[in-house]
Structure 1
Amino acid sequence: MAINKLPFGRYHVIDSLLSKGERVKTSEIQRAILYELQIKVSSKTINNDLNDMRDSKALGYFAPIEKDLSKKAYYYSDPDYTIKAFGLKDADINALQFYANTINQYKDYEVFKDFATAIEKILAVLAGSKGAPGIQKTRSIVQTERTPLITGGHLIPKIVEAINTKYVIAFKYQKFDDEKVKEVKLQPYLLKEDRHLWYVLGKNHKGHLITYALDRIKDFTISNDKFLPDDFDFEDYFKYSFGITVTDEVPVNTVLSFTPFQGKYIKALPIHPTQKILLDNDQELRISVEVKPAYEFYEKILGYGANVRVISPPEIVSDLKERLKQALNLYK
């Protein structure tokens, strides 16, 4: 997260130092921010923060910050002043708490640790401020879906680096259904999460776009080979997908009929961006989706059990019948 996106935490650290009535040097402010927020900032950033606290109409602090030229340090000319009288509003605190709880599910991934820690530090600083709004400490009022730590998560920052710097990555890869280990060289284009698993998409030496799961990657390295990336539209690439799998097939218009009760959920949370409502009455909710049917699509539809019926096309109906027969055979 860019430093300039965390100004309020810095303002409160600066305020806590200056409100003690002492002269404070820029280096002391830097150390305090590093300790409180675990963020390294430049002296230029500190000077900008001091100017903003003093002069910014948008902030409205108009803090009485003066500089002691002899000591090259800053202080409040009004010893009773504090920005805690302005502070963050309840809505601001709630937004930070919500964001912290949301991103907390990824805290075990190295690349996300700084994000979560920085927000937690800001909330901790505000919690200790006399003028801060009430912050819930004893109970959680927002609970998000928990994401298990997946093997390969430590590769995320390295792959991000390779994508940004346009370097080819190399690794060993083994599919779940293949005993053979492949040596792979890949031009990385995109990191994508799907159902709590992470994938890297890129082009091989033949120029083919391929997807690899991070949990199956071994001996990862960033090579010294640079590449010139193509302009690739991944939004369009995944347009007809229900997950990470994208086939070469032509998209199929698929019509689904849901029970009225299940239909309420489908309307509240559409199952696909291409979803269109064809019929909505007391008997059914009928929708259509444009899809390249793959494993994730069938898994999704089968998950609705008796609450959905595929009307068309015939080939998908046939595939689903076969899968249901195979499932029934497990209970014979």
Structure 2
Amino acid sequence: MNQRRLAIMRLMDSRQKFTARELAERFEVSVRTIQRDLDALQTLGFPLYTEVGANGGYRVLPNRILPPLQLNQQEALGLFMMLEYLEQVPDFPYGAIREHLAEQYFSTLPPDVQERITGMRDHIAFIQHPGEHMHALTSKLLTAASEKRAITFMYHARSGWKKVNVYPFGIYYEQGYWYMPARKKDRVQLYRVDRMRKLTVLDQTDESVPALKAWLKQTEERAGEEVVLRFTAFGARMAASDVLFKTVVDQEWRGLVPHSEFSFTARRLLSYGPEVKVISPPALQEQVRSMLEQSVMQYRPE
């Protein structure tokens, strides 16, 4: 595709209406040349709509096709490695694009680049939590959050299934799962997306609902109690790959943790077993001790 046709696609994508003569004058070519360009773009699938009459012209239909990628060989290789990684992230929003992009773009590449990509796939692996495939759910959540719209869904909590009505802030991916912080009445709740079913996006909106990144920043800055952990050498190596405790220095971790997150932190620490000890505060020590005692109780003879 020549550069003029790419430029026409970008110009038309602004959703303005243009006549063939206006485009011809803009690109300093004949009207006939512009008409050939527009015919070629329509043949490629670019959704142009023609309006006839004195005030007619060309415009782009909704759900339009955007201009093709212009990548060099190294960028193309990097793109396919990123797609390979994203294939392992369950429920990726708008996930259908991965397969579509991989197939459509791959087929346009020169044979030698195709062969190199195919060979590289045999030498790289990204191991993630398998999860379930519910792309539509994460896509709808992301759209609802960006439009500040309320949602309702069924949630599988400890007490069983319950109906929830909230305003989502967005979604984030951590440790193999998607999470959705949302406002429920006057408090913030955190939900695991894989435990959600029967999602409906409602018409009601609330412009005061914060965006995810703003909420995360506020969460990081809120007051908390200092927690001090002492890791063994092996525990420190484990913590290096843990998002929560990766800032271990000399086998010690210090950080502010809100009291509301002590239970979550204690459960995470249990996975380290004897490789970590809570130095302070006493409240977190007690939570870890209580959870350990409950675990031991399960194995005592009846």
Query: TM-score, normalised to structure 2's length?
Result: 0.65
| 1:170–1:220 CA contact under 8 A, matched in 2 | yes
Query: CA 1:311–1:105 in structure 2 vs 1: closer, same or farther (change >3 Å)?
Result: same
Q: Which residue of 1 aligns with 2:138?
A: 156
Asked whether 1:235 is paired with 2:216, we answer yes
Q: Which residue of 1 aligns with 2:173?
A: 193
Q: Which residue of 1 aligns with 2:200?
A: 221
Alpha-carbon separation, structure 2, partners of 1:317 and 1:164? 40
Query: CA 1:307–1:213 in structure 2 vs 1: closer, same or farther (change >3 Å)?
Result: closer
Alpha-carbon separation, structure 2, partners of 1:200 and 1:258? 31
Asked whether 1:104 is paired with 2:87, we answer yes
Q: Which residue of 2 aligns with 1:29?
A: 44
Please report how far the alpha carbon of residue 151 of structure 1 lies from its aligned counterpart in structure 2 after TM superposition. Answer: 7.1
| 1:193–1:199 CA contact under 8 A, matched in 2 | yes
Q: What is the root-mean-square deviation of aligned Cα atoms in Å?
A: 3.6
SS in 2 for 1:289: strand
Please report how far the alpha carbon of residue 96 of structure 1 lies from its aligned counterpart in structure 2 after TM superposition. Answer: 1.7
| 1:253–1:289 CA contact under 8 A, matched in 2 | yes
Partner deviation per Cα, 1:226-261 (whole Å, 9 max, x = no partner): 322344622234428xxxxxxx9x522111111224
Query: CA 1:40–1:265 in structure 2 vs 1: closer, same or farther (change >3 Å)?
Result: same
Asked whether 1:209 is paired with 2:191, we answer no
Alpha-carbon separation, structure 2, partners of 1:252 and 1:118? 47
Please report how far the alpha carbon of residue 118 of structure 1 lies from its aligned counterpart in structure 2 after TM superposition. Answer: 0.6
Letter in 2 for 1:225: Q
Please report how far the alpha carbon of residue 306 of structure 1 lies from its aligned counterpart in structure 2 after TM superposition. Answer: 1.9
Query: CA 1:325–1:141 in structure 2 vs 1: closer, same or farther (change >3 Å)?
Result: same
| 1:106–1:112 CA contact under 8 A, matched in 2 | no
Alpha-carbon separation, structure 1, partners of 2:90 and 2:257? 34
Q: Which residue of 1 aligns with 2:298?
A: 330
Asked whether 1:115 is paired with 2:102, we answer no
Query: TM-score, normalised to structure 1's length?
Result: 0.60
Q: Which of these residues, 57, 64, 72, is aligned with residue 88 of structure 1?
A: 72
Q: Which residue of 1 aligns with 2:281?
A: 313
| 1:199–1:211 CA contact under 8 A, matched in 2 | yes
Q: Which residue of 2 aligns with 1:272?
A: 244
Unaligned runs of 5+ in 1: 1-6, 11-22, 32-38, 50-58, 60-86, 241-247
| 1:173–1:218 CA contact under 8 A, matched in 2 | yes
Query: CA 1:140–1:252 in structure 2 vs 1: closer, same or farther (change >3 Å)?
Result: farther
| 1:109–1:149 CA contact under 8 A, matched in 2 | no
Alpha-carbon separation, structure 2, partners of 1:221 and 1:95? 37
Alpha-carbon separation, structure 2, partners of 1:212 and 1:196? 14
Alpha-carbon separation, structure 2, partners of 1:107 and 1:113? 12
Unaligned runs of 5+ in 2: 1-5, 10-36, 47-62
